[in-house]
Amino acid sequence: MIRVTSDNSIFSLSTEAAPVARISSGDGLVLETADCFSGQVRSPDDAPSSVDWSHINPATGPVYVEGAEPGDVLSVFIERIEVAPRGVMAVSASFGVLRERFAGMSFQIVPIAEGAARVSGADVPVRPMIGVIGVAPAGDPVPCGSPGAHGGNMDTRLIGEGATLYLPVFAPGGLLSAGDLHAAMGDGEICGTGIEVAGTVTLRVDVRRDLRLENPIVETAEVVATIASAATLDEAADLATRDMADLLISRLELSAADATMLMSAAGQLQVSQVVDPLKTARFALPKAIIAHYGRALV
Give me the CATH number covering residue 252.
3.10.28.20
Average pLDDT over residues 216-225: 98
Q: Is 99 left (phi over 0), alpha (psi -120 to 50) or beta?
A: alpha
pLDDT at position 117 is 98
pLDDT at position 47 is 77
Distance CA 283, CA 298 (A): 14
118 found inside a domain = no
**79 with 145, same domain?**
yes
**167 with 25, same domain?**
yes
Residue 128: CB atoms within 10 Å:
23
248 found inside a domain = yes
**199 with 222, same domain?**
no
**180 with 79, same domain?**
yes
**137 with 274, same domain?**
no
Average pLDDT over residues 84-110: 96
pLDDT at position 50 is 84
99 found inside a domain = no
45 found inside a domain = no
The long-range contacts involving 89-95, CB below 8 angstroms and separated by at least 24 positions, are 89/119, 89/191, 89/193, 89/194, 89/195, 89/196, 90/41, 90/191, 90/192, 90/193, 91/191, 91/192, 92/48, 92/192, 95/192, 95/275
**142 with 194, same domain?**
yes
pLDDT over 80 at 292, yes or no:
yes
Average pLDDT over residues 193-209: 98
Output the CA torsion sign for 161, 259, 228, 70: positive
Total structural domains in the chain?
2
For residues 187 and 46, the model is more confident at: 187
Q: What CATH number did the domain enclosing 61 receive?
A: 2.60.120.580
pLDDT at position 152 is 98
**202 with 229, same domain?**
no
Domain boundary among the residues 208, 240, 272 is at 208
**Residue 206 exposed, middle or buried by CB count within 10 Å (0-12, 13-18, 19+):** middle
**171 with 232, same domain?**
no
**146 with 26, same domain?**
yes
Average pLDDT over residues 252-266: 98
User: Cα dist. 159→45, 73, 163, 172, 249 in Å?
Assistant: 32, 17, 6, 24, 25
**What is the average pLDDT score of the chain?**
97
Output the pTM of the full model: 0.97
270 found inside a domain = yes
Residues spanned by the domain of 270: 217-293
112 found inside a domain = no
pLDDT at position 48 is 84
Decide: 58 and 38 in contact? Cβ < 8 Å: yes
**167 with 266, same domain?**
no
pLDDT over 80 at 236, yes or no:
yes
Domain boundary among the residues 161, 187, 208 is at 208
Could you check whether the bond before residue 286 is cis, i.e. omega within 30 degrees of 0?
Answer: no
**153 with 260, same domain?**
no
Average pLDDT over residues 132-158: 97
44 found inside a domain = no
91 found inside a domain = no
**135 with 245, same domain?**
no
Domain boundary among the residues 188, 208, 228 is at 208
Virtual torsion, Cα 270, 74, 153, 222, nearest 10 deg: 30
